[in-house]
Amino acid sequence: MWKSLLVVVVSAPLSIAVGLAFWAAQNWRAGLIACFSTFAICLVAATLLAFFTRRFTLVDVFLPLIFSVLWSLILMPLSLGAELFAAPAAIGSGMLLTWCLWRVYHESGPNASADRKWLIFPILVYVYAMLPIHIPGAFDDYFALSGDLACVLLYQLVASHRRQFPHPGGADLNLK
């Protein structure tokens, strides 16, 4: 997971350099768009690196929340009055993804490679909420976040009931 943290640390100077290059070549708006696009691409790459890591640490678990808070602080001045970014949805999706990663870390331990297919939807909502592309109105962000929460809670309910009942193949039955 340190690779993911390294990508985020390197993304700040890289995105500033790309933004300055586009500003010099075009104008300040193109530079600003290039800067934030580069940072968003690096954020997606860091999230994908975190998803495909085999061993979680506590740093891995809390990075989505830290990323979402930092990204919200960076974009907050640019979104005042323009509705380009919804900070509550981004922080909420970061908190939900952190909770999901905490569940994976707690249930499977730091060294086990668990079945993580159910994390795809929370990661997609997290990436969507972090993008500075915003459809006007709060419906899209909050609908995606509430749908993500419902999906994760449903998965957790199914997973808890699956552990309580014996396997349908009869492997867990003690027949003598």
pLDDT score of 111:
45
Does 134 score more than 80 pLDDT?
A: no
Flag the least confident range among 51-55, 96-100, 135-139, 165-169: 165-169
Give DSSP secondary structure letters for 15-48: HHHHHHHHHHHS-HHHHHHHHHHHHHHHHHHHHH
Q: What band does 59 get if pLDDT is binned at 50, 70 and 90?
A: confident
Percent of the chain, pLDDT > 90? 1
- For residue 79, how many other CB atoms are within 10 A of its CB? 15
Question: Please, what is the average pLDDT of the chain?
Answer: 75
* Domain locations in the chain as residue ranges: 1-53, 60-164
Q: Is this structure's pTM higher than 0.75?
A: no
Pick the residue with more confidence: 137 or 110?
137
Q: For residue 133, is pLDDT > 50? A: yes
pLDDT digit string, tens, across residues 65-104: 888 888 888 777 766 666 667 777 788 888 888 888 888 8
In angstroms, the CA 66 to CA 88 distance is 14
Rounded Cα–Cα distance for residues 51 and 73 (Å): 24
Residue 43, pLDDT > 60, answer yes
Give the torsion sign (CA, 139, 133, 62, 114): positive
Q: In which residue are the tokens 């970014």 written?
A: 85
